[in-house]
Amino acid sequence: MSLQGKHIVLGVSGGIAAYKTPALVRLFVQAGAEVRVVCTAHALEFVTPLTLETVSGNSLYTDMFHRVGERSTRHVHYADWADVLLVAPATANILAKMAHGIADDALSTLYLAFHKPVVVSPAMNVHMYEHPATVENLRLLAQRGVHVLDAAYGPLACGYEAKGRMPEPEELFRATEAILTRTAEPEAAPLRGKKVLVTAGPTQEPIDPVRYITNRSSGRMGFCIADALQRQGAEVFLVSGPSALQPEMAVAHWEKVRTAQEMYDVLLRWWPDMDAGVFSAAVADYRVRDVSDVKMKKTGGQTALELVPNPDLLAYAGAHKSERQCVVGFALETDHALANAEEKRRRKNADIIVLNTLEDAGAGFETTTNKVTFLYKDGTAEAGELESKVSVAERLVQRLGRCMGVLTLWCLLLFGGAALQAQELNCTFQVVSTKIQSGDKKVFETMQDALAAFVNGQKWTNLQVGPGEKIPCSMTMEVQERDFTTGVTKAYLTVQARRPVYNASYQTTLLNVVDKDVVFTYNAFDPIEFSDNNISSNLTAVVAYYSYLIIGLYLDSFAPNAGEVCLGKADNVVSMCQGMSEPGWKSGERNNRNRYWMIENYMNGNYGAIHNVLYQYHRKGLDLMYGNPTDGRAGVLQALTALKALNDTRNGLPCKLLFMEAKSDELVSMFSGATQDERQQAVALLNGLDPSNAQKYQKIMSAR
């Protein structure tokens, strides 16, 4: 996700790690964000105001009562202005204030006024970090929705080599970016309704009442996965071994166990009802056959312990999974990593194996980072770089969603989706009547409710893939004129639709159009009715037309010609409206915004070529880009080339206008990070397709 245009408030409290904050501010600014810094008085013992103001380009906020040329309620202003508040470093003192609602300085007062995502990065002496008061304060903040980043392990200012360091600026940057990505589209929860079992942490196999066999797993990776799943709407069933850590988000179904057998017993109880399982726990392979009831005494000689195999949780899930269930396992290897991991995946019938190796610095146990490779059942592998475990968890959950067929429609479309008809709509409908100064405004409230129910309740197709799996869109009707005697109304209709990008926490705009020729008659409590064979009013005709257009374009973006049925229904609406006197439907009105002329371009002899452009841009371009940017941009360039060729052979292709209006900003962002050759190709094509926006496209060449 680009941070271009994002507003970030960085809160700095009085810890030695404050000296790193100028580098963090610079990373945000270089990514296109605007940053404002709020400091406690003690923070300025470690970093100077001039440095922070220079790198951010904004004045520092540290004194609530300093009013020279400044508003005195900056804590409220910043809370409304910002997209996220990041507190780094977060000392034990500021964490205590935040947890208990104490507001006695600029930063703590801002926090209480803040109503958007908050991220804290604790940094302090290890004993302070592990003190029960600090642990409880972090728990309280996490329960309230604050994103608590784990402290890093390493040398501390006090001389200890322990946990308590603030992560490096690059990691804080990535974590904040990920959180902004997750919250950018809060309604998008592709795993809603799915039940996923997660195992986490080590197990402990007792030898006697005081000794046991275990390993170095902290449980961090599993807890990050549980958090990532919940952020995508899944219902998480977590079973964990002994750990000092915990998930950031409260888990409704969480069983804490000690031994492998206890973890296996929970698996047997939960697995039949699950949609997927992520087996990240480091389960002991063996246990002691005969556990002593009393502490074993040291004898001075050799002692032999007889070990017997523990139950294999991953193997059980793989052997007993149904067609709807997906299984993800982990493999920690020290040699022949790829071969061993793939053999494990086949032997245990896993859909995905997540491989990490102790050969990679910063990977494995007792770290906040990991470097993994995903191995899939089709024989392919996807290697990653060193990144935070939060980021690994986010990527894994995206891959799991693909494995589960979420959205189910996506997978069906990849294998012959043209036979499908569509999903239904999840449409926000708003009627804006501020231009109307008299009359009964209740009419518009009634119309808004009726239209919202009509759009979301109408079965536009014969297929609804699953609960909650609907196409996100919005229609905003701005009333321009209203005759309260006759009920005749003139309005503008703004129509927008989005589509999730495959394997990415991002949505792309499919349609963004303003229809200025909407005339209709409506009186309070008039019925909103429509069928494919009968249209009672121009109002229902326009809304039905755009509903079918949204669904058709959505399906075409996943498979060639998959939207044929829905776009054919939109064409049918146009045909039935030819006899109407209202504007916008006439075949002779060949302007770019005429509904007849728009749909004619999709349904004429060039039908296949136009729809393949949509498919090429999304599936072979934008979707692919999030796994392979070079190939993805190449796919987008091919789509633009095909669109340019169509436009050159047909005079005034309205589809081109609709496409460019929806995609222009996205294309600038996409190619601003490309190679010089890709930039030049993109600018040449875009200027040829959309010369009115040549100045905007020139930003691609000047981006750094």
Tell me the pLDDT tens digit for each residue of 628-665.
Answer: 788 889 999 999 998 888 888 776 677 777 788 888 88
pLDDT at 68: 46
- Say if residues 437 and 268 touch (Cβ distance below 8 Å): no
Beta bridge partners of 466: none
pLDDT of residue 189: 61
Question: What is the structure's pLDDT at 417?
Answer: 36
**What H or E segment, with its residue span, contains residue 243?**
none
What DSSP string runs through 67-100? Answer: -TTS-TTHHHHHHHH-SEEEEEEE-HHHHHHHHH
Q: At what angle do helices 49-56 and 21-30 cross, to 10 degrees?
A: 10
Per the confidence metrics, is the pTM higher than 0.85? no
- What is the chain's mean pLDDT, rounded? 84
Give pLDDT tens digits for 316-361.
Answer: 999 999 878 999 999 998 888 888 898 999 899 999 999 988 777 7
The three-state secondary structure class of 191 is: coil
pLDDT at 485: 85
Q: How many CB atoms lie within 10 A of CB 219?
A: 24
Is residue 697 predicted with pLDDT exceeding 80? yes
Over 664-689, what HEC string results? Answer: HHHHHHHHCCCCHHHHHHHHHHHHHH
Residue of 282, 150, 116 whose CA lies nearest to 204: 282
- What does the pLDDT average to over 570-584? 85
Task: Say what the pLDDT of residue 566 is.
Answer: 83
Task: pLDDT band for 693, please (50, 70, 90 cuts).
Answer: confident
Please state whether 650 falls in left (phi above 0), alpha (psi between -120 and 50) or beta. beta
| pLDDT over threshold 70, residue 604 | no
Q: Which of 621, 617, 619 is nearest to 633 (CA)?
A: 621
**Distance set, CA 116 to CA 80, 81, 88 (Å):** 9, 10, 17
Q: Has residue 479 got a pLDDT over 70?
A: yes
Does residue 421 carry a pLDDT above 50?
no
The larger pLDDT score, comparing residue 298 to residue 683, is at 683
CA 565 to chain centre: 30
Token pair, residue 681, equals 């190709």
Residue bearing the bigger pLDDT, 471 or 85 = 85
Instruction: Work out the average pLDDT over 262-269.
Output: 95
Q: Give the pLDDT score at 527.
A: 79
**pLDDT given at position 529:** 83
More confident residue, 326 or 412: 326
Per cent of the chain over pLDDT 90 is: 38
The CA radius of gyration of the chain, in Å to the nearest whole number, is 29
The arithmetic mean of pLDDT across residues 86-104, rounded, is 94
Is there a contact between 338 and 381 (Cβ–Cβ < 8 Å)?
Answer: yes
- Judge whether 176 and 86 are in contact, CB under 8 Å: yes
Share above pLDDT 70 across residues of the chain, in percent, rounded to a whole number? 89
pLDDT in tens, 207-230: 999 999 999 899 999 999 998 898
SS3 64: coil
pLDDT, residue 415, reads 34
The reported pLDDT for the residue numbered 175 is 79
167 cis-preceded (ω within 30 degrees of 0): no
Is 633 within 8 Å of 625 (Cβ atoms)?
yes
Q: What are phi and psi of 347, to 5 degrees?
A: -65, -35
Between 593 and 77, residue with greater pLDDT: 77
pLDDT value of position 439: 64
Q: What is the mean pLDDT of residues 600-613?
A: 68
361-368 average pLDDT score: 73
Query: What gap in Å lies between CA 110 and CA 443, rounded to an integer?
Result: 42
CA distance 464 to 422: 7
What pLDDT digit, counting tens, does each position of 3-20 carry?
888 999 999 999 999 999
| Alpha-helix residue ranges (DSSP H) falling in 472-606 | 538-556, 564-576, 595-603
Give a three-class secondary structure readout of 340-390: HHHHHHHHCCCCEEEEEECCCCCCCCCCCEECCEEEECCCCEEECCCEEHH
More confident residue, 430 or 171: 430
What is the rounded average pLDDT of the residues 588-604?
Answer: 71
Asked if residue 515 lies in contact with residue 593, where contact means CB atoms within 8 angstroms, the answer is: yes
How far is CA 84 from its chain centroid?
15
Distance from C-alpha of 86 to C-alpha of 88, rounded to nearest angstrom? 6
Contact 453, 411 (CB under 8 A): no
Q: What is the pLDDT of residue 476?
A: 94
Catalytically active residues, by annotation: 158
Residue in 481, 473, 612 with CA at minimum distance from that of residue 547:
473
Task: Examine the pLDDT at 422 and tell me if it is beyond 60.
Answer: no
Exposed e or buried b for every residue in 348-383, given b needs 16+ CB within 10 A?
Answer: bbbbbbbbbbeeeeebbbebbbbbbbbbbeeeeeee
- pLDDT of residue 90 exceeding 50, the answer is yes
Distance, first Cα to last Cα, the chain: 16
Whether the link from the prior residue into 107 is cis, omega within 30° of 0, is no
Q: How many whole angstroms separate alpha carbon 273 and alpha carbon 691?
A: 56
Q: 104 pLDDT exceeds 80?
A: yes
DSSP 8-state class, residue 533: T
pLDDT in tens, 524-553: 778 788 887 778 789 999 999 999 999 988
Region of 6 (left: φ > 0; alpha: ψ -120 to 50; beta: rest) is: beta
- The whole-number pLDDT of residue 423 equals 63
Q: Are 314 and 234 in contact (CB under 8 A)?
A: no
**pLDDT score of 182 more than 80:** no
pLDDT at 266: 95
β-bridge mates for residue 475, sequence order: 429, 495
pLDDT of residue 404: 78
Helix residue ranges per DSSP H, 250-332: 260-270, 313-319
Report the alpha-carbon distance of residue 550 to residue 682 in Å, rounded: 27
Q: What DSSP element (H or E) covers 215?
A: none
- Cβ proximity of 242 and 220 under 8 Å: no
The rounded distance, in Å, linking the Cα atoms of 342 and 363 is 19
In 3-state terms, what secondary structure has residue 404? helix
Q: Which of 39, 32, 40, 42 is nearest to 8 (CA)?
A: 32
Backbone phi and psi for residue 427, each to the nearest 5 degrees, phi listed first: -105, 130
Model pLDDT, residue 607:
52
